[in-house]
Amino acid sequence: MGFQDRDYLRTRSASFGAIAPRRLTANTMLILACVLVAMLDAILPRQWVQTSQVHFVEGGEEVTRELLATKEWTIVPAVDERATQSFGTALMVPFNPTTQETRAAVGSIGYQFVSPLRKWLQFTTAQALINITPQGVSGFEFWRFIGFQFLHVGVMHLVLNMVGLWVFGPLVEERLGARRYLAFYLFCGMMGAFLYLLLNAAGLGAQSLAGPNASIPGLLFTDPWTPLVGASAGVFGVIVAGAVFRPNETIVVLYVLPMRLATFALLVIGFTIYNMLTASANAGGETAHLGGALAGWWVAKHPHLIDDFFSLFGRPPRRSAASLASSQAASRARGVSDAEVDRILDKVHAGGLQSLSAAEKETLRRATDARRS
């Protein structure tokens, strides 16, 4: 099949749902991975996980500091492992592992029983930031920036995100290629978590300076142990990238309302920003959505950044046929021959970007700029 016959390169609108993959694409593998994790999350035995900061009783914080400074005491939650409820509040009790001695509770925390997968992969501000205590250094659990993207709360949460990937993912993967698409998707999710972390840390900082009643629109004042899970940040990045690549693509929202993809992307981003500014119940999730969307827009506008990333580890991944065809067609409009573009791309595949001369980099830049326009 020639390039001109591919769905994504036709001048007329294509139906996303009508595109049936003939191989196991990167997008399909992402969907299968999320479904598999959801299944394991549902059947694995439960463990308790902290879901709130410690709420100290009067004088409890001072007692905690004094006991921890001795390095002989730990502060542990008195969680009943036989509890039938999935969440609750536990007393924080000083405990000496050597003497088995306990003291009066110094405070309490919220907890929830979850699977080991969720306990290890879910994202929280408290676990992402570095925390230095007398007991040692904790936090900076960087794997959570990726792991939380494969977790979901309930079947509907999973279904909505997977439908989003199934509908919009093939468009972006066709343009970027499998490996570049996978890197793009995970990066969007990571940027969603990063924006969540940034605004949550800023909100907590504002409260520490102005008091617990501080309220600044856009900042997150949620507990730093509140979990963030879901593929939504990556999905929003995919939607926005699709709108950059094919803004005039027609989609049918809820099988009723036809709409340009660019219009749909603007609407969902506007809804996200509104929920953030009005501090809705899911303001934290909406923040991650916005972070993923911004990352998707930026990378779609500068797709060479993915190649630059891969070039740090060796040869960049091969781009999809659609991406190469689009680049070559745009290059002709700028006076760059197909043969010259092919020669430079082959040189990049063979030796990386560092193998190009200044003139070749300039030629490739002009070809890339032409494709973006």
Site of tokens 């066709």 = 174
Of the ranges 32-36, 44-48, 215-219, 225-229, which one carries the lowest mean pLDDT score? 215-219
pLDDT reported for residue 218: 87
- Here the tokens at position 344 are 């430079």
Secondary element (H or E) of residue 104: none
Between 288 and 11, residue with greater pLDDT: 288
Phi (first) and psi of residue 92, to 5 degrees: -95, 115
234, with CB counted inside 10 A (0-12, 13-18, 19+), is buried
- State what percent of residues in the chain have pLDDT above 90: 59
Looking at per-residue pLDDT, the higher value among 80 and 191 belongs to: 191
Residue 1 has pLDDT above 70, yes or no: no
Mean pLDDT of 145-161: 96
Asked if residue 253 lies in contact with residue 175, where contact means CB atoms within 8 angstroms, the answer is: no
Mean local confidence (pLDDT), 186-193: 97
User: Cα–Cα distances in Å, from 87 out to 52, 120, 234, 236?
Assistant: 11, 17, 28, 30
Please write the tens of the pLDDT for every residue from 21-76. Answer: 457 899 999 999 999 999 999 999 999 999 999 999 999 999 999 998 888 999 99
CATH fold of the domain at 3-40+148-301:
Rhomboid-like fold (1.20.1540)
pLDDT value of position 7: 44
* Confidence check: pLDDT of 233 > 70: yes
Q: What six digits make up the tokens of 1?
A: 């099949």
- CATH 1.20.1540 maps onto the chain at 3-40+148-301
Residue-wise DSSP of 38-63: HHHHHHSPPEEEE-S--EEPTTHHHH
User: Per-residue pLDDT averaged across 254-274, rounded?
Assistant: 91
Q: How far apart are CA 360 and CA 340, in angstroms?
A: 9
CA dihedral 264, 266, 270, 272 (to 10 degrees): 70
Span of 60-74, 117-131, 336-350 with lowest mean pLDDT: 336-350
**Which tokens in the block code for residue 196?**
């969540």
Q: Determine contact, residues 258/13, Cβ cutoff 8 Å.
A: no
The CA distance from 3 to 272, in Å, is 36
Q: Which residues contact 316 (CB under 8 A, 6 or more apart)?
A: 306, 307, 310, 348, 349, 352, 353
Residue 130 has pLDDT above 70, yes or no: yes
Q: What is the pLDDT of residue 133?
A: 61
Least confident window among 50-59, 90-99, 208-217: 208-217
Looking at residue 281, what is its pLDDT?
84
Q: What is the mean pLDDT of residues 183-209?
A: 95
What is the token pair recorded at 114? Answer: 């979850």
Least confident of 67-76, 139-148, 340-349: 340-349
Average pLDDT score over residue span 243-269: 89
pLDDT at 215: 84
230: left (phi over 0), alpha (psi -120 to 50) or beta: left
Amino acid at 143: W
Contacts within 8 Å (CB) and 24+ apart, 155-163: 155/38, 157/230, 158/34, 158/35, 158/38, 161/34, 161/230, 161/231, 161/232, 161/235, 162/31, 162/34, 162/35, 162/231
pLDDT score recorded for residue 20: 45
The whole-number pLDDT of residue 164 equals: 94
Both structure tokens of 290: 């916005």
The chain-wide mean pLDDT, for the chain, equals: 84
Q: Per-residue pLDDT averaged across 144-159, rounded?
A: 96
